[in-house]
Each structure stands twice: as structure tokens, then as C-alpha cells.
Amino acid sequence: MKTQQKAYLYALLAIFCWSTVATAFKMALYGMDFLHLLLISSGVAMLFLGFLLFISSQLKPTLLSKPKDYLHSAILGLLNPFLYYVVLLKAYEILPAQFAVSLNYIWPITLVLLSIPLLQQKIGIKSIICILISFTGVVIIANKGNFTTLQTPNSFGVILALGSSVFWALFWIFNVRDKREEKQKLFLNFAFGFIYILITILLFSDFHIPDKSSFMAAIYIGLVECGISSILWLKALKMISSMDKIGNLVFLSPFLSLIFIHLIIGESIYLSTLAGLILIISGIVLQKLIQKNKIN
């Protein structure tokens, strides 16, 4: 198999993994609260990444990182996994899975908006139109396609699902500036994230033993969402000649997620959810095309 074909295979496997996670979130949340889910999944991810570093003789150098690297990881770990997943998982706890997974995909547009004050980037009228297209999709999803009366299932849940995109976009902006090896960064991020969520539970919650199915779903999330899929995607990026060749494949994930949500959880998928998601993705893809044309 050629290198480019392997890259596409790794990318598609990562996307398939990501597509199953929304269903796993809901299954885990049936038997535990969102804080305990994050504690288990982040702990599993930390152990998995630590094992990968150990077998590649990178664990000791990672643990002996410079103080400034630990500081970077402490900040990044606060953004992701801690704040990002606390907000996102609470949204999943409140909303139907189809709403949470669709609204969360607004993050590339959030990234563009945050790049204006943080990276001093200018935004043109074409980009503004793309943003409006995506936010029209958000309104359609949140209001179930009804433009005459308010149909939002839970306004707080919608705000959380959209708010999680802010933490993910901030994480992406600061992570790009950190030039350390990705697995080392991920391991330390999850180590700090695990500490943050452990402290949060000690202060604001109690420890509970979840039922077996929820516990297994939490382990699956830690391995697949936070571990295996990240490694597969990094492999794909290293093999591909240009990010553009696999970047847009990511947008298969929310549509596949809706299929799993319907087949496994049994949610009836609203046509408004599909329509809104198509608008969100369309706005994002058009925005990427505009940025690509500027570069060229």
C-alpha cells in the first residue's frame, strides 16, 4: 500500500472512531454524571498515552520536561481536556446527542472569530457571509427548524454545546505554538486534566461506582476519543503531503455520528438537524476555501 493510501486509511479510521464517541458519551452518562465520566476517560487516556511513550522510550524524557513545558501543559490541560470536556459532557447530559454533536462542530468558525483579537487576523465580507451561513445552521438545529416559535429543547444545553467550541478553539490556537512532540504534549495535557477533574470532584462531588456498561463506555471514550483516534490522525498527518487532502474528511464524522446515534441510542434524527448541520459544514468549508485562495 502506498504512503498516501495509508494516510487516507489512518485518517478514515480516526474519523470512524470519532464518529462513535457521541453515542458512547450518551451511554456512559446513563449511569454516571459528567464529572465522573471525565475522570475515568481522562485517566484511561493518560495511562494509554503513557504506555505508548514508555514502549517508545519517550516517557522518561517527557517526565523530565523543562518547567516552562510543564507550565504550557498545565494551561493546555486546563483548556483540554478539563474545561472543554466539562462543558461538552454537561451539554450531552442535558441535550439529545444529535444536538450536542452537531452544535459542537461550530468550532472552526469560533476559531476564525477568536483569531481576530488573538492572532490579529483581519476578516473580510466573504468570511462574514460564511460565518452567517454556519450560524444559520446553529439556529435551525437549536430551534428544530421552526422560525415562528421557540422550540429549543434546553437553552442552557445549547449555550454549553456552543461554548465548548470556544475552549477547543483556544486550545488549538495555543497548541499550534507549542512545538513539542504531539504524544508528549497529549500525555502531559491529560495528566494535568486528570488532576483538575480529580480536585473538582473532591471539592464539588462524591465518588460513585458506575454500572458496568457505563464504566465500559467511559473506558472506551478514554481509549478511542482521547487516545487511539489521536494517534491515527497524527500518523495520517505525517504521511500526507498536504493537510488539505485529508482535512475535509473530518466533516464526515458528524454525519456518521448521527447514524450511530439513531441505530444504537434510538434517537429519531430531525430533518432540521441534518439541514442545520449541512449549513454549518458548508460555512466552514467555504471559509477554508477563502483562506486557501488568500494563501495562493
Listed range (43-47, 172-176, 218-222) with the worst mean pLDDT: 172-176
Mean pLDDT of 161-173: 91
Average pLDDT for the chain: 88
Structural domains counted in the chain? 1
Task: Give the pLDDT score at 110.
Answer: 87
**Statement: residue 152 has pLDDT above 80:** no
Share of the chain above pLDDT 90, in %: 56
Task: Give the pLDDT score at 4.
Answer: 76
- Scan for cell 466539562, then name that residue: 86
Give the model's confidence band at 128: pLDDT under 50 very low, under 70 low, under 90 confident, else very high. Answer: confident
The Cα–Cα gap between 218 and 33 comes to: 11
**Statement: residue 150 has pLDDT above 60:** no
In terms of Cα–Cα distance, which of 273, 259, 295 is closest to 138?
Answer: 273
Task: Give the pLDDT score at 206.
Answer: 81
Task: Give the pLDDT score at 180.
Answer: 84
Give the model's confidence band at 273: pLDDT under 50 very low, under 70 low, under 90 confident, else very high. Answer: very high
The Cα–Cα gap between 173 and 189 comes to: 15
Judge whether 85 and 144 are in contact, CB under 8 Å: no
Burial class (CB in 10 A: 0-12, 13-18, 19+), 289: middle
Give the model's confidence band at 237: pLDDT under 50 very low, under 70 low, under 90 confident, else very high. Answer: confident
Give the model's confidence band at 160: pLDDT under 50 very low, under 70 low, under 90 confident, else very high. Answer: very high
Reduced to 3 states, what is the DSSP secondary structure of residue 148? coil
Judge whether 114 and 170 are in contact, CB under 8 Å: yes
Task: Give the pLDDT score at 13.
Answer: 94
Handedness of CA 270, 276, 278, 284 (dihedral sign): negative
**Statement: residue 159 has pLDDT above 60:** yes
Retrieve residue 9's grid coordinates.
486509511
Task: Give the pLDDT score at 79.
Answer: 96
The boundaries of the domain holding residue 31 are 3-295
Give the model's confidence band at 207: pLDDT under 50 very low, under 70 low, under 90 confident, else very high. Answer: confident
Task: Give the pLDDT score at 242.
Answer: 62
Judge whether 114 and 126 are in contact, CB under 8 Å: no
Q: Which residues of 23-36 are buried (b: 16+ CB within 10 A; e: fewer)?
A: bbbbbbbebbbbbb
Retrieve residue 10's grid coordinates.
489512518
Give the model's confidence band at 6: pLDDT under 50 very low, under 70 low, under 90 confident, else very high. Answer: confident
